[in-house]
Structure 1
Amino acid sequence: MTKLKYALTIAGTLLVLAGLSACSPLSVINAVSPGNALQADADVAYGLKARQRLDVYRPASASNSSPVIVFFYGGNWNMGDRADYAFVGRALAKRGFVVVIPDYRLYPEVRYPEILADSAAAVAWTVREIKNYGGDASRLFVMGHSAGAYNAAMVALDPGLLARAGIKPGVVRGFIGLAGPYNFLPVENVETRSVFNYPDTPPESQPINHVSASSPPALLIAANKDEMVNPARNTGELAKKFRANGVPVREVYLDRVNHATLVGSLATPLHALAPTIDVVQAFVNSDGGRKQ
């Protein structure tokens, strides 16, 4: 059995088990994702609100020189829980990174632009505190999937967000986006419209409109079969904007995953589905492509 067939078999089995046990596929993936040889610090406050909490994952051998990844999960800005993405923290920590996974306030409690304030606050907390968890704040990357990729992109590209959180925007060394919506005006998704004040959604709500020559390098990963977020319109057009501004960017398009299974491929049991984690590791270890 090839590695791909093995991974597909595991993925199918996980989905069957999820159906039989009334658990979500993410819960099943977490249950079979190894966490040994890692340290986890759960339910750390980065603000005063109920959802302003985060978890930190780190290698047992983490030193103050370990690169840091702040990961934002997706969920159309109206759902999601950091505990569902423990597999992401474990997998990346296993590769030597200190990983921060925050919750953030959701619609209808907040909408654009306030919906981004928590992401900026979580990054600001990381800059100030991550040395206490073995991470190096000067090697900080932001990463996200789907709506979380949008949040990460805005934090990386809109200097005003971190400035309002009391942090210099230049602290972000690189941006990693998985299947992110970066260029989606006019808003077509009915559930998303209220989040972005449709039909009065401002152009500055779009990450593509914040790219400049001072933007950090980017790694953009998308699924060719993504039926939720158009990869050409979003990943492709954002990459073009980076290049037009002279900013290093790498695009990776994958055939054997879709919008959801792209982030699932980060889980240790599902690495054979796609080389997602290897590409992420190479990007971070090269300091966003600065080191070749």
Structure 2
Amino acid sequence: MPGADPGRRGAFRLIRRRALAGLALAGPALAACSPLDLANLATPRRGTMLREGLRYGPLPRHRLDLTLPPMPVAETPLVVFIHGGGWEEGSRAQYAFLGRRLASLGMAVAVPDYRLWPEARWPDFIEDAALAVAWLRSAPDVPRGPLFVMGHSAGGFIAAALALDPRWLEAAGLPGGRGALTGAMLLAAPISWQPNYEPVTSIFANAPGGRIEAAPDPAMLAGAPPMLLLHGEADVVVGALHARQLAAGLEAAGRPVRLRLYPGVGHVGIMTDFVPGAGLLGLSDAPVVAEVRDFVRARVVGG
């Protein structure tokens, strides 16, 4: 932090090192859950309103949480955030902090649950997310403003599939299909990948060639909405090559795309900026929230 007291900078670095070391020693379960719990505790409501457990379909996992900004109006932009977790874990409640943070900036944020492995496999989770988006557009008391899909990691793949492959939203009955989307925001999203480890190979066994493919036909890119691609260059779970290649394909297809790559930022680290104060503590090196805010505002104001 330029201009900060050297002793304070040292203290922040020490806090960061200890936090990261603690997560590394705690193992996968704590690393996957505890930071999200802490993020929810650290993120104030700031006048936002939560409508919890709204049912968008007939199955047990067909529920979503909707966080509304203070004084929402019909034109309030709606962001549908699809959580990650390798298509086998995760829940809407874990991402309350993200809903609150974006709602405090004037957006309505829906976070749906969707079916997970082993109950589900491709394309069940894509169909669930598409159903949630379509339901939100027809449900009462939900803002009708510009519509965005957004996701991290496995959820980023699902959001990419909704934005790039027209069949999913059309099949879900969304008027206009993917043409109803004002934009898509992908964080550390796998786009095109041949999985070679379990359970991902089994999760995608039904997909053509067993591949993870958000856009099976490159011609699909020509109809894509504007896209924001955010990726950490230190991501060893989903390499930044996914974002680079998608950006190049969208540019070649003449579609608007903004690519932001963050040096030193990993797969989970790209989410930390949604926690208030993370930047001040040296826990976030990527201005993700500002990028999302500016992307939404540009689409809302400028079209």
**2:154 maps to 1:144:** no
CA distance in 2, matches of 1:13, 1:60: 37
Partner residue in 2 for 1:28:
38
CA RMSD of aligned residues (A): 2.7
Segments of 5+ residues of structure 2 without an aligned counterpart are: none
Amino acid at match of 2:290: D
Query: Residues 286 and 32 of structure 1: is their aligned pair in 2 closer, same or farther, counting only changes over 3 Å?
Result: same
Partner residue in 1 for 2:72:
62
Query: Residues 56 and 14 of structure 1: is their aligned pair in 2 closer, same or farther, counting only changes over 3 Å?
Result: farther
Determine if contact 2:195/2:212 at 8 Å carries over to the other structure: no
The Cα of 1:97 is off from its aligned counterpart by: 0.3
**2:186 maps to 1:174:** no
2:260 is matched with which residue: 241, 252, 256?
252
Partner residue in 2 for 1:286:
298
- Identical positions, percent: 34
Greater CA drift, 269-278 or 208-217: 208-217
Amino acid at match of 1:243: E
1:79 is matched with which residue: 74, 89, 92?
89
Determine if contact 1:150/1:207 at 8 Å carries over to the other structure: no
1:239 is matched with which residue: 242, 247, 261?
247
Partner residue in 2 for 1:263:
271
**Number of aligned positions between the proteins:** 284
Partner residue in 2 for 1:227:
236
Determine if contact 1:74/1:149 at 8 Å carries over to the other structure: yes
1:128 is matched with which residue: 123, 138, 142?
138
TM-score, normalised to structure 1, is 0.88
Instruction: Write out aligned runs for 1:87-166 (5 A).
Output: 87-129=97-139, 132-133=141-142, 135-137=143-145, 139-166=146-173
Partner residue in 1 for 2:62:
52
CA distance in 2, matches of 1:28, 1:226: 22
Segments of 5+ residues of structure 1 without an aligned counterpart are: none
Larger radius of gyration: 2
Q: What per-residue deviation string (whole Å, max 9, x for no partner) do you get for residues 159-178 of structure 1?
A: 11011111122111111000
TM-score, normalised to structure 2, is 0.85
CA distance in 1, matches of 2:292, 2:12: 19
The Cα of 1:199 is off from its aligned counterpart by: 9.1
Query: Residues 65 and 96 of structure 1: is their aligned pair in 2 closer, same or farther, counting only changes over 3 Å?
Result: same
Amino acid at match of 1:223: G
